[in-house]
Structure 1
């Protein structure tokens, strides 16, 4: 299976990217190909809502989204990776997802698989509720098959994350994909 990982953390050495690396290692060892796209540091402009794309491209904006679009549409699975920022995904990842507007139908027709990898400083049991709801809505709208989530509670620093159960969970999620 061909997997594209959309990293949305502005911190290149942060906890969520650590989970992405563990997932990637597991998936590769499971026989899958994995490409990581750093959406947080890519040249991605916000969707303007102009609908010039007609909901199926091309977008009038000339940035990195066309290249990322090709990677997504050539993949069998999309993995969303984000730190928890104010009870939701990072603005950087959300900006990329908003640009799906120009190729929603193509994603929907592919019946891709998906997963969510995320971390939060807080360990309250409700901390991921809004992000989980948003992710599940994306899964439903984009006609994705949810393969699982790794929700890293209490992972405020990469050191905390590294010594938690979550890197292993991410590895296992990647490794057990069929």
Structure 2
């Protein structure tokens, strides 16, 4: 059975380095017969700038964000996929602000019961991927984002699968010439589509 994969593009650039990497990863996924869908963060209607700490998700029996917007619907649907991939340019060692806003809403998939964090059981078999592009890899760049994301995803009981792409210039045509990155990205996509 083919994998159902969600890729969230956290860049506002429609044809930038992040989207180039996404397309290559998607080619690898397609090669393995996966059904992949891309959501561009620029088209997501987000009623708030992120989680507002209303805590309605903590007192409800449902694992959902109660804000009525696109971001809440995307987060609610995540467990319906086999793989969710977050793709982002690195800004000051972190996600784009728009991506961070969406990820903050994932707090709705955690309950606090008798002082313990209880993760939505539907996350148990969900594979999580990260595609990150950056101009370089200073300690406060790709490495910092990678470390943060590994720890965040570990809190959901999952492992992180990542493709980190340093050395991206402001001109995405330069990345398109890097065949070694393309091959690595396609292999990464195949690996994600093959996860059991």
CA 166–126 in structure 1, closer or farther in 2 if over 3 Å, else same = farther
1:59 to 58, 65, 69: 65
Alignment of 1:56-135 (within 5 A): 56-104=62-110, 105-106=119-120, 109-124=123-138, 127-135=141-149
Contact in 2 for aligned 1:9/1:82 (Cα 8 Å): yes
Give the aligned partner of residue 141 of structure 1: 155
Alignment of 1:4-43 (within 5 A): 4-43=6-45
CA 123–71 in structure 1, closer or farther in 2 if over 3 Å, else same = same
Say which is worse superposed, 150-159 or 86-95, in terms of deviation. Answer: 150-159
CA 92–119 in structure 1, closer or farther in 2 if over 3 Å, else same = same
- Per-residue deviation, 1:72: 1.1
- Per-residue deviation, 1:109: 3.8
Distance, in Å, in 2 between the alignment partners of 1:153 and 1:108 is 33
Give the aligned partner of residue 152 of structure 1: 165
Q: How many residues align?
A: 177
Q: CA RMSD in A?
A: 2.0
Give the aligned partner of residue 114 of structure 2: none
Distance, in Å, in 1 between the alignment partners of 2:162 and 2:189 is 11
Which protein, 1 or 2, shows the higher relative CO under an 8 Å CA cutoff with sep ≥ 6? 1
Structure of larger gyration radius: 2
Say which is worse superposed, 97-106 or 13-22, in terms of deviation. Answer: 97-106
Contact in 2 for aligned 1:6/1:80 (Cα 8 Å): yes
Give the aligned partner of residue 52 of structure 2: 48
In the alignment, does 2:180 pair up with 1:161? Answer: no
CA 158–116 in structure 1, closer or farther in 2 if over 3 Å, else same = same
Tell me, which stretches of 5 or more residues in structure 1 are unaligned?
none
Distance, in Å, in 1 between the alignment partners of 2:64 and 2:76 is 12
Contact in 1 for aligned 2:65/2:76 (Cα 8 Å): no
- Per-residue deviation, 1:87: 1.0
